[in-house]
């Protein structure tokens, strides 16, 4: 089935392979479209179910996590799941949690663009089309468990060429002692059968499989009249800001993940919220999964709540981006939040007090700031 979409930077034409879509999602169930403010790549696939640039119900996000996990076949009794920063840190964690089962050892971590103090780096990869290409993978706290896993599950929101996940796969094969299988998981995949075969050939010695909700191919025809540059204050470098270490060194989902604190240092509870109000929980950058769990808890208790998060990715307003808010962060860089519904009370969830202090958004809008790291007052 062919679909065509016009965006300000050009035209996208899609052919969808419905035989690969066991859950019967359509292209437009999962995506809308926009233009990156980035000369490296003019188009952007904007997920409707990811909770990043478009507000999403937590229950819908959970549904996609479960559908992806159901299609993911593991080898052995131990597994490492890795989400790709920035966009798929929450998606990766959601898929990982859905894969947890009794008697099976599973560890989740994600790549990051934050510098951790005194934590060894095991490798770095580059995402060539991104405005901020560098990804860091830190040594897991349970290093021996990771080195003995049989299956690695690599999660991104969409796969176009596969080059980034190929780098990550090669690094993991070198790092893990006896890796037997790698599963590439995404909401949308544009890999052809020929490209999948090439990837398998480039990763000898391991079985490679591919899981997605929508598969197909596309062509982008750029507009001759369109041009753009990166914003002058785009955050391209690795951040030195203090963040939480744990999830970047591996979590097992035995830990409590949705405990937050107010600026006073006292625990934040849902009793302080009003059931008749509408809410949006806003994660901060890579910090998606724990804020998502807060939103999911609110939803389970009857609150009208949606979830999304801020980003360092510059996108042009228009097309699937109906509203764009720009705010300053550390060192004067710009971050963004897109399509935030103004009529909802905003809860912004931060990893650390340092993030809150440097975030201009909390000063620009009426909001309820909460912090996962206990605040010392």
Residue predicted with more confidence, 277 or 127: 277
Residue 335: inside a domain, yes or no? yes
Residue 172: inside a domain, yes or no? no
Q: What range does the domain containing 305 cover?
A: 255-371
Which pLDDT value is given to residue 131? 44
Residue 207: inside a domain, yes or no? no
Q: Kindly report, residue by residue over 151-187, the tens digit of the pLDDT.
A: 999 999 999 999 999 999 999 999 999 899 999 999 9
With CA atoms as reference, report the closest residue to 371 among 291, 298, 295, 310.
291
Q: Kindly calculate the radius of gyration of the chain based on its CA atoms and give it in whole angstroms.
A: 20
Q: Where do we find the tokens 């299609």?
A: 71
* Number of domains present in the structure of the chain: 1
Which pLDDT value is given to residue 366? 96
Which pLDDT value is given to residue 21? 55
Residue 57: inside a domain, yes or no? no
Convert the chain into a string of H (helix), E (strand) and C (coil): CEEEEEECCEEEEEEECHHHCCCCCCHHHHEEEECECCCCCCCEEEECCCCCCCCECHHHHHHHHHHHHHCCCCCCCEEEEEECCCCCHHHHHHHHHHHCCCCCEEEEEECECECCCCCCEEEEEECCCCCCCEEEEECCCCHHHHHCCCEEEEEEEEECCCHHHHHHHHHHHHHCCCCCEEEEEEEEECCCHHHHHHHHHHCCCCEEEEEEEEEEEEEEEECCCCCCCCCCCECCCCECCCCCCHHHHCECCCCCCCCCECCCCCECCHHHCCCCCEEEEEEECCECHHHHHHHHHHHHCCCEEEEEECECCCECCECCECCEEEEECHHHCEEEEECCCCCCEEEEEECCHHHHHHCCHHHHCCEEEEECCCCCC
Q: Kindly report, residue by residue over 323-369, the tens digit of the pLDDT.
A: 999 999 988 899 999 999 999 999 999 999 999 999 999 999 999 99
What average pLDDT does this structure show over 90-118? 94
What average pLDDT does this structure show over 54-58? 99
pLDDT at 370 over 90: yes
Residue 321: inside a domain, yes or no? yes
Whole-angstrom distance, CA of residue 22 vs CA of residue 366: 43
Which pLDDT value is given to residue 20? 58
pLDDT at 100 over 80: yes
Q: Model confidence at 285, in pLDDT bands (50, 70, 90)?
A: very high
With CA atoms as reference, report the closest residue to 142 among 80, 213, 232, 51.
80
Give the chain's end-to-end CA distance (angstroms, integer). 59
Residue 283: inside a domain, yes or no? yes
What average pLDDT does this structure show over 24-35? 94
Residue predicted with more confidence, 142 or 262: 262
The structure's pTM equals 0.94
pLDDT at 258 over 80: no
What is the rounded average pLDDT for all residues in the chain?
92
Which pLDDT value is given to residue 70? 96
Cβ(113)–Cβ(286) below 8 Å: yes
Residue 262: inside a domain, yes or no? yes
Which pLDDT value is given to residue 127? 64
Which pLDDT value is given to residue 377? 46
Residue 306: inside a domain, yes or no? yes
Q: Kindly report, residue by residue over 337-348, the tens digit of the pLDDT.
A: 999 999 999 999
Provide the Cα torsion 271, 277, 280, 281; round to 10°.
0
Which pLDDT value is given to residue 38? 87
């Amino acid at each position: 089935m062919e679909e065509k979409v016009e965006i300000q930077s050009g035209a996208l034409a899609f052919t969808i392979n419905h035989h690969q879509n066991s859950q019967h999602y359509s292209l437009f169930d999962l995506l809308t479209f926009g233009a990156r403010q980035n000369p490296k790549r003019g188009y952007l696939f904007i997920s409707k179910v990811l909770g990043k640039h478009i507000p999403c119900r937590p229950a819908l996000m959970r549904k996609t996590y479960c559908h992806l996990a159901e299609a993911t076949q593991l080898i052995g009794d131990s597994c490492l799941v890795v989400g790709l920063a920035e966009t798929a840190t929450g998606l990766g964690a959601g898929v990982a949690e859905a894969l947890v089962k009794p008697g099976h050892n599973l560890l989740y971590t994600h790549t990051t663009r934050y510098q951790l103090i005194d934590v060894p780096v095991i490798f770095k990869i580059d995402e060539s089309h991104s405005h901020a290409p560098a990804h860091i993978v830190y040594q897991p706290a349970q290093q021996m468990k990771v080195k003995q896993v049989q299956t690695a599950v690599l999660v991104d929101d969409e796969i176009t060429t596969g080059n980034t996940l190929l780098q990550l796969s090669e690094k993991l094969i070198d790092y893990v002692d006896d890796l037997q299988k790698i599963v590439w998981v995404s909401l949308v995949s544009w890999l052809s059968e020929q490209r999948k075969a090439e990837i398998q050939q480039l990763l000898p010695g391991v079985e490679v499989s591919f899981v997605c909700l929508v598969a197909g191919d596309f062509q982008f025809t750029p507009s001759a009249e369109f041009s753009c540059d990166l914003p002058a204050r785009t955050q391209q470098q690795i951040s030195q800001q203090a963040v939480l270490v744990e999830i970047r060194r591996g979590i097992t989902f035995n830990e409590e993940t949705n405990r937050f604190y107010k600026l006073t240092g006292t625990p934040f509870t849902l009793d302080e919220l009003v059931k008749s109000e509408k809410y949006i929980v806003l994660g901060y950058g890579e910090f998606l999964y724990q804020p998502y769990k807060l939103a999911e808890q609110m939803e389970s208790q009857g609150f009208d709540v949606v979830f999304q998060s801020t980003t360092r990715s510059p996108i042009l307003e228009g097309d699937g981006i109906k509203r764009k808010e720009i705010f300053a962060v550390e060192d004067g860089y710009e971050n963004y939040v897109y399509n935030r519904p103004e009529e909802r009370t905003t809860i912004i969830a931060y990893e650390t007090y340092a993030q809150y202090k440097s975030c201009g958004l909390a000063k620009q809008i009426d909001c309820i700031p909460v912090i996962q790291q206990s605040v010392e007052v």
